[in-house]
């Protein structure tokens, strides 16, 4: 697993608070979300994205590339158990040759 190193200023988030709040309000089961909760959700989201991208980057490095592609993210989702919930959102790539039959 790749370690997460944060270069962010303590107490800040790089995600826009208004957008995160709007996404949270889309869940009808949540009636209110305080600023502390909003900040924690934002930071947790940043850590999640950072982790997924770092794991995907490792797959691109195995293919001797510096650019993360969709197939790298799909490999990360397929091979790392903690990302199993993303299998419907980021399915593995399928070759067109396989579908031609």
Whether residue 1 has pLDDT greater than 70: no
Print burial letters for 48-86: b (CB count within 10 Å at least 16), e (below 16).
eeebbebbbbbbbeeeeeeebeeebbbbbbbebeebeeb
pLDDT bucket at 81, cuts 50 / 70 / 90: very high
In angstroms, the Cα distances linking 86 to 19, 43, 50, 68, 91 are 22, 20, 15, 17, 8
Kindly report the pTM of this predicted structure: 0.76
23-72 pLDDT tens trace = 999 999 988 889 999 999 999 999 999 999 999 999 999 999 999 999 99
- Answer whether CATH 3.40.50.11810 is correct for domain 17-94: no
Q: What is the mean pLDDT of the chain?
A: 88
Per cent of the chain over pLDDT 90 is: 71
Q: Which of 57, 85, 81, 88 is nearest to 71 (CA)?
A: 57
Per cent of the chain over pLDDT 70 is: 88
d(CA 11, CA 66): 31
Q: Give residue 2's pLDDT.
A: 45
Q: Give residue 8's pLDDT.
A: 62
Residue extents of the structural domains in the chain? 17-94
């Amino acid at each position: 697993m790749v370690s997460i190193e944060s270069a962010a200023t303590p107490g800040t988030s790089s995600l826009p608070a208004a957008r995160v709040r709007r996404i949270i309000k889309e869940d009808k089961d949540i009636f209110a979300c305080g600023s502390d909760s909003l900040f924690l959700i934002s930071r947790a989201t940043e850590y999640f994205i950072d982790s997924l991208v770092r794991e995907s980057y490792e797959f691109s490095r195995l293919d001797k590339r510096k650019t993360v592609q969709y197939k790298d993210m799909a490999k990360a989702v397929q091979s790392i158990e903690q990302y199993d919930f993303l299998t419907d959102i980021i399915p593995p790539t399928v070759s067109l040759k396989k579908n031609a039959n």
